[in-house]
């Protein structure tokens, strides 16, 4: 009996290869739900990543997985795993550092001139991944706040992946991963693990309290109670088709205060899009 069971386990452990029909069906679903392009070149990647889910679920084929995914139970339980399988979460502290320099040296002083009595600046990091971007932004805004008594700020950070949002809320990173943080900020805003062998750091509570994390699919309807002075949506649209990109930025523009700013990634462009935005620097736009 045990030999039969072991044979069954081995049979289920290696799913059958993904067919073109299965890839097409899953790819169309992924693009519809998340906006992420699934060209034929991504078939091997998708088969590899979802293969782990099939093995975990004891499924023999991607067709069986598709049927489960499209069921009510699957839509509820499996969607977070599908999101984690198809999204890319590459990020670093102070990635594209010139954005933060322009923000601190030019845009924040302009904001203070427009708000002479001070007030709260609202910022949104869309596609925040594991939190390195919003915490980088929090460090810059906090440095500015220390030098301007009436300046306050709050950051909303969103992502479609629950897994990376959980990491972001823990705010624990390797010391190596924190090396791109400027030296004085590392000393001020990082707590080192008591166990030095672990080489871990954590963002200080003061900054963690300034960032609110929320699960959000940018393709779906979005609603906020107040508009944003800053939106960072960097290295997100590269995975979307052009019409989806334009629709997304038209949607984001509605949530930017007049005179507020949008930051996108260095490999992205809004060229040719009909948007209420004026380019003031490469990859930095002002709401008009």
- What digits encode the pLDDT tens for the residues 40-92? 999 999 999 999 999 999 999 999 999 999 898 988 899 999 998 888 777 89
Residue 13: pLDDT band by 50, 70, 90 thresholds? low
Residue 23: pLDDT band by 50, 70, 90 thresholds? very high
- What digits encode the pLDDT tens for the residues 147-171? 998 999 999 999 999 999 999 999 9
Domains of the chain: 2-86 (1.10.155.10), 97-287 (3.40.50.150)
Average pLDDT estimate for 189-214: 92
Residues 6+ apart with CB under 8 A from 153: 120, 121, 122, 123, 138, 141, 142, 145, 210
Q: How many degrees, rounded to 5, is the angle at CA 212 between CA 279 and CA 121? A: 45
Q: What is the pLDDT of residue 182?
A: 96
Q: What is the pLDDT of residue 86?
A: 86
- What digits encode the pLDDT tens for the residues 204-254? 999 999 999 999 999 888 888 889 999 999 998 888 888 999 999 999 999
Residue 193: pLDDT band by 50, 70, 90 thresholds? confident
Q: What is the pLDDT of residue 7?
A: 41
* Residue 5 pLDDT greater than 60, yes or no: no
* Residue 118 pLDDT greater than 50, yes or no: yes
For residues 258 and 273, the answer to whether their CB atoms sit within 8 Å is no
* Residue 2 pLDDT greater than 90, yes or no: no
The model's pTM = 0.87
Map 197-259 to HEC letters: HHCEEEECHHHHCCEEEEECCCCCCCCCCCCEEEEECCCCHHHCCHHHHHHHHHHHHCCEEEE
* Residue 203 pLDDT greater than 50, yes or no: yes
CA distance 75 to 97: 39
């Amino acid at each position: 009996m045990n030999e039969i069971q072991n044979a069954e386990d081995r049979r289920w452990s290696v799913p059958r290869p993904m067919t073109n029909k299965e890839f097409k069906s899953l790819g169309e679903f992924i693009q519809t739900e998340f906006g992420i392009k699934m060209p034929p070149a991504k078939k091997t990647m998708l088969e590899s990543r979802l293969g782990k889910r099939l093995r975990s679920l004891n499924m023999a084929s991607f067709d069986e997985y598709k049927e489960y995914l499209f069921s009510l139970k699957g839509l509820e339980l499996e969607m977070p795993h599908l999101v984690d399988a198809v999204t890319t979460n590459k990020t670093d502290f102070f990635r594209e550092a010139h954005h933060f320099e322009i923000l601190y040296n030019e845009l924040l002083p302009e904001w203070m001139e427009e708000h002479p009595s001070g007030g709260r600046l609202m910022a949104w990091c869309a596609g925040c991944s594991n939190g390195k971007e919003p915490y980088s932004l929090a460090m810059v805004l906090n440095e500015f706040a220390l030098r301007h008594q009436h300046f306050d700020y709050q950051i909303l950070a969103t992502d479609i992946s629950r897994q990376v949002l959980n990491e972001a809320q823990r705010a624990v990173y390797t010391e190596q991963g924190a090396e791109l943080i400027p030296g004085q900020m590392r000393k001020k805003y990082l707590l080192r693990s008591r166990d030095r062998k672990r080489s871990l750091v954590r963002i200080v509570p003061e900054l963690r309290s300034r960032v609110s994390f929320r699960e959000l699919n940018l393709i779906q309807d979005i609603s906020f109670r107040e508009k944003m002075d800053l939106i960072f949506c960097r290295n997100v649209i590269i995975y979307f088709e052009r019409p989806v990109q334009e629709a997304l930025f038209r949607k984001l523009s509605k949530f930017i205060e007049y005179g507020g700013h949008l930051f996108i990634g260095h490999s992205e462009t809004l060229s040719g899009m009909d948007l209420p935005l004026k380019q003031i620097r490469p990859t930095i736009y002002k709401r008009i």
